[in-house]
Amino acid sequence: MNTTHSHANGGALPAITIDTAIEKKEQVVDAGMQSLDHYKRALPKWRYYLRQQALPLVRWETPYLAWLQATLRSPTLDSYFAITANLGTHTFFMIGLPIMFWCGNASFGKGLVHMLAAGVFFTGFVKDFFSLPRPLSPPLHRITMSGSAALEYGFPSTHSANAVSVAVYGILCLHEPDNPLQPSTRSALEALAYFYAISIVFGRLYCGMHGFVDVIVGSVMGALISLTEYHYGTALNMYLLENSWTSLSALLLLIIVLIRVHPEPADDCPCFDDSVAFAGVMIGLEIGTWRFGRSSFADIPFDLNALGYPAVILRILFGVLLIFAWREVAKPSLLRGLPHLFRLIETWGLSLPRRFFMPASEYKKIPLRLRVDNVMPNVSDLPGLITAVRGPGRGRSVSVGPQSAADAYETLAYRERRRRESGSAGSKPGLRNKASAQDISAVQDDNSSNYIPSPAAAARSSAVSSSPLHQKPSDFEKLMGEGTVIVSPVEIDGNGDAEPVMYIRSQDELGHKEVFSKLVKPRVRYDVEVVTKLVVYCGIGWLAVEIIPVLYEFIPGLGAGHLRVA
C-alpha cells in the first residue's frame, strides 16, 4: 500500500510503503534498545547517569496527570488554558515589555526583562542538561497553541518560571512602604497576580505539557530569580551606571560566557535558540540603559494626562513598528553577510563547535526567509496567527501521540521496559511482534475513519473508555508506550553515528484525523544563526530602552521634553 501522507509540519511526505516496512521484519528495529542507545551515545556518561536517575519521576507521574486531565477536561477549559498559556510565553513578554520603557515604567520593565531572560536561559540550561521528555502521550492529550512547545524537553517548565517570577516580583513591589496605590487596589492587584501564576502553572498540567516535578522546579526557579532581582537588581543597576564602561563590559562578557557553556542537548531542542535570543536582549538592554542614563534625555518625565491617549498610542505604534522593521532588515542582512566572515575565521582554526550547527565552510548560502527563532513572530506570520485564532479551534490543537524525537524515544523505551517486566519475549529480539505490526498496518489516509484496532489494542484502550469517575491512574498507565512509532534501519550520519529513521502516528482530536508521518530530522542549522540572533535581539533591546525614547523627542507630538521641570 503506497500512500503519500501529509507531514505534520505541512509538507508532503514522500510515498512510503507502510505494509512493506511492517511486513519485512528485518527492517523494523526494536523500540527499546535503539532508544536507550541514543541517549547513551549523545550524552556524557555522568549526564546520562543523572538523566536515568530522574527519568522514573516522569514515568511515575504520567498516569496521575492523565487521570487529572480526563477528570477535568471540557471544551471551555481546553480553550481557556490553551489561550492563557500565551501569557507566559516569550513572545507575549517580548512584545509587551518594551511598552513599559515608553510609558514611564522603565525601572519595573528592566526588572521584568532581567527575570524573563534569566528564567528562559536557566530553565533552557537545565532542559538541555537533563534532556528529559515531556510526560507521555498517550495517555495524555497535548493541548497547545504553539507548534514549537512540544519540541522542547519538559523539565523544568519555563512557563511556570516566567509566571511565578512576574507574580512574586509584582507582589513584592505592591508591598513596598512607599507604594502610592490605595489598599483596595493593592489587594486586587495582588489577587490578580496569584490568580495569574496559579492559572499558568496549573494550565501546564491540564494541557498535558508538563508534569508535577516540571512545574514545581520551574516555579521554585522563578521565585528565586524574582527574589534575587528584587533585592539586588537596583544595586546592580546603580553600580553599572556609576562606573565606567569596564564594569559594563565585564557583565556583557559574563553573558557571552554563559552562552558558550550552555549544555549540548541530546536532540535538536530549540531551548538554546531561546537562550541566545534573550541573552541578546540582555546585552542590548544593559548597553542602552547605561548610555541613556548618562544622556540629557534621562530626566524627561512621562505624564499620561499631559501627553494624552492619542499621543501615547502613537508612541507605542511607532516603537513596535520600528522594532519589527529592524528585525525584518537586520536578520536577512546578517544571514547574507556573516557566512563570509565565518569562513575567514575558520581559516584561523576557530569555529563554533556546537552540535546540530553546520559550519560556514560546508554551505554556500542561507535561505533569507529562514525562521531562526520562535521568540517573536515574523511580519509575514501575523495574518496566519489572526486567522488561526479566529478559526473554530481558536488557534489551539489537541493531539495524541509522539510529537518530537524525545517523545518517540521515550515511547520506545517505555515499551521495551514493559516488555522486559512482563517477560513476554514472543518475537525475535530486536523486532516488533506481529500484533503491534497489525495495529500499525491499519493506518489509512489522514481523513480515514476506517481504522479498526486489533483485539490487543482494543483491550488496552477499553481500560480508559469508561466514565472518568470510574477511571484510576493505573488504567492510564496501561496506555503508556502505546504511541505508534516505527523504526527503520539505522542511517550513518556525518559524524559516523548510527541514527534510525522513525515514523510516528499522531491523532488530531479537533480535526478528527490521524497523521502518519516521518519524524524528519531537524532542518539544517547554520553556525551564523547564533550570532544573528545575538545581534538582532541586542538591537531590539537597545532600540526599546534608548534609541526609540530619544527619537520621540525629534518627532512632533510624541516627545515629552516640554514636561521637564526647569
Distance CA 90, CA 454 (A): 43
Quick check: 200 and 159 in contact, CB under 8 A? Answer: yes
Among the listed residues 238, 235, 1, 198, the one whose alpha carbon sits nearest the alpha carbon of residue 87: 198
Task: Extract the C-alpha cell encoding 347.
Answer: 581559516
Query: From the candidates 38, 114, 159, 262, which is the catalytic residue?
Result: 159
Q: Cell 483485539 appears where?
A: 455
Active site residue 210: yes
Active site residue 159: yes
**CB-based burial label for 273 (10 Å; 0-12, 13-18, 19+):** buried
Q: Cell 556609576 appears where?
A: 242
DSSP codes joined into one string, 81-142: HHHHGGGGSHHHHHHHHHHHHHTT-HHHHHHHHHHHHHHHHHHHHHHHHH-PPPSPTTTSPE
CA distances from 105 to 197, 303, 537, 550 (A): 22, 11, 21, 16
Distance CA 250, CA 248 (A): 5
Sign of CA dihedral 70, 75, 79, 80: negative
Give ∠ CA 43-44-45 in degrees, rounded to 5.
Answer: 115
Distance CA 44, CA 51 (A): 11
Task: Extract the C-alpha cell encoding 540.
Answer: 531590539
Rg value, the chain, Cα:
26
Query: From the candidates 90, 141, 210, 262, which is the catalytic residue?
Result: 210
DSSP codes joined into one string, 370-414: ----SSS--GGGHHHHHHHHHSTTTT-EEEES--SHHHHHHHHHH
Give ∠ CA 471-400-133 in degrees, rounded to 5.
Answer: 95
Q: Interhelix angle for 271-293 vs 245-260, to 10°? A: 180
What residues are labeled active site?
159, 210
